[in-house]
Amino acid sequence: MSETTDEMTTAAATPEVPRPWWHWRRLTRGRLRPAVAAAVAGALLGGAGVAWQAEAGPFEAGSACWGALSQDDVADLFDGKRDIEASDVPVTSDHFSSEGPSGVCRLKSPRGRRVTAQVHQLDTRFGGSGDKWADEYLSARMTSLGGGLLGMASDTRAWLAVPEGCVGRAPEHDGPLVIDVETGWTTYEDEVDTGERARLTTAVVRLVNGYLAEQGCEGRVRDPADRLPAPARFKDEKPDAICGIEGLHMRDGREADKYDRPLVTVGAGPVRTCDRDVLFGHPSLRLMTVEDPRLAALYGGLKFDGGPEVKASGGAQGVGFLRDDFGLFQAECQTGDITFLIRADDTDHAADIRTLLPRYVAAEADRVGCGPLHLKLPA
């Protein structure tokens, strides 16, 4: 457990399980039906996977989401309401593929509110889960959980990577195993409900601790909900300091006022994200530095075939690409791979991306201690 002393602490004794308090439904469609049927029959899924809290059975009384959330935990997510319906697909592992453990839990209020949690290994194909997961869970509205944890939270999303000290490190080119929680559509404002953010943080920490307990790990993740920093706010910027980065400007000194004011993540974290003009969770322009090598795996495959090749001269080495809608460079730094990217939602921003990418990479590489980096763009 020495690898995770910053992430975990000794767990308190598990409280007595309360009486049943809601109706359970099991999802039994498609390829998951055999696994669920086996669980209902009382057979544990050995070899292909296990259900969380298996010693209590898949229908453990008074708990939800694989036995990790108590009645009070769920009520806290629904403004104290206790008439919540829950359904979950057990966490299973497919040993015939590299997808890793997976499972889904859904909580539904009769008043329409829903909370969905899932455990999954981050998909490294197509630039990180087809960009959708990165759009939502690495957005500038998210705040790093800190304390050595690989995770972030807002008032609509929270995610946390399972610490590797007990369950083992993911293969070099695979994404980390994460548990995330979402409450539906995210908003586009910079106002973040810190109370709701704290509740989602606590929930995702308890889900991860439930997984660790099921795996036989002795340590537990400390809940950082009461010490998260203030959320990001829209930033006023100067023409020569786009996203607050000194010396970063558009071509010919043109201002960036064609974009809305940016939202930039605050404090140290696994990513530094600058989002502009977000619509339905997707930014029209994103500048992002993925500082944690475990997350850099999301773009490890894309860097080789995303478009015409980008190389670096001097300092750290690496490889990347440049397209009309996407520029990326993944550098081999002393701390591991770090990814720098600029992505737009269409090809109308091609000139901006070409202008910004070398300056952005140079400035961010210096900030994270991976410079100097000077890019050579394709003709």
- Residue 81 amino acid letter: K
Better-predicted residue by pLDDT, 319 or 173:
319
Nearest residue to 20 via CA among 86, 79, 77, 78: 86
What b/e readout covers 319-331, taking b as 16+ CB neighbours within 10 angstroms? Answer: ebbbbeebbbbbb
Looking at per-residue pLDDT, the higher value among 29 and 195 belongs to 195
282 confidence band (pLDDT: 50, 70, 90): confident
Q: Average pLDDT for residues 23-29, to the nearest whole number?
A: 30
pLDDT tens per residue across span 322-374:
999 999 999 999 889 999 999 998 888 899 899 999 999 999 999 999 989 99
Query: At 49, is the pLDDT very low, low, confident or very high (cuts 50, 70, 90)?
Result: very low
Which pLDDT belongs to residue 53? 32
DSSP state of 369: T
How far is Cα 378 from Cα 359, in angstroms, rounded to an integer? Answer: 15
* pLDDT band (50, 70, 90) for residue 171: confident
Please classify residue 275 by burial: count the beta carbons closer than 10 Å to its beta carbon, then call 0-12 exposed, 13-18 middle and 19+ buried.
Answer: buried
Q: Across residues 189-198, what is the average pLDDT?
A: 91
Q: Is the pLDDT of residue 5 over 70?
A: no
- Residue 108: helix, strand or coil by DSSP? strand
CA distance 262 to 252: 21
> From the CB of residue 274, how many other CB atoms can be counted at a distance below 10 Å?
25
3-state SS, residue 242: helix
pLDDT of residue 213: 93
Dihedrals φ, ψ of 115, to 5°? -130, 130
What are 253's two structure tokens? 């000194």
Mean pLDDT is lowest, of 19-23, 98-102, 247-251, 300-304, for: 19-23
- Mean pLDDT across the chain, nearest whole number? 79
- State the average pLDDT over residues 304-315: 82
Classify strands 24-25 and 85-92 as parallel, antiparallel or unpaired.
Answer: parallel
What is the average pLDDT across 281-301? 88
Statement: residue 193 has pLDDT above 90? yes
10 Å Cβ neighbour count for 42? 9
Give the pLDDT of residue 42. 29
Q: What is the CA radius of gyration of the chain?
A: 22
pLDDT for 124 equals 79
Residue range 43-50: mean pLDDT, rounded? 26
Q: Report the alpha-carbon distance of residue 72 to residue 1 in Å, rounded.
A: 30
Distance, CA of 255 to CA of 49 (rounded, Å):
55
Higher pLDDT, 187 or 95: 187
pLDDT of 76 reads 95
Q: CA-CA distance, 372 to 361, in Å (whole number)?
A: 9
**What would the two tokens of residue 367 be?**
């900030």
221 vs 10: CA distance, rounded Å: 8
Check residue 11 and give its pLDDT: 37
- Residues of the chain by 3-state class (helix, strand, coil), percent to 5: 25, 30, 45
Q: What is the model's pLDDT at position 60?
A: 43
> What are residue 377's phi and psi, to 5 degrees?
-85, 150
Residue 113 — φ and ψ, nearest 5°? -75, 145
Spell out where 233-281 has E strands: 263-264, 271-279
Q: What is the per-residue pLDDT for 46?
A: 27
| Residue type (1 letter), 111 | R
Task: Say if CB 272 and CB 266 are below 8 A apart.
Answer: no
pLDDT cut 90: percent of the chain above it: 49
In 3-105, which residue ranges form alpha helices assigned H by DSSP? Answer: 33-40, 71-77
pLDDT for residue 255:
54
CB 28 within 8 A of CB 36: yes
Q: Express each pLDDT in 213-233 by its tens digit.
A: 999 998 899 999 999 999 999
DSSP 127: T
Residue 256 has pLDDT above 50, yes or no: yes
Residue 14: predicted pLDDT = 36
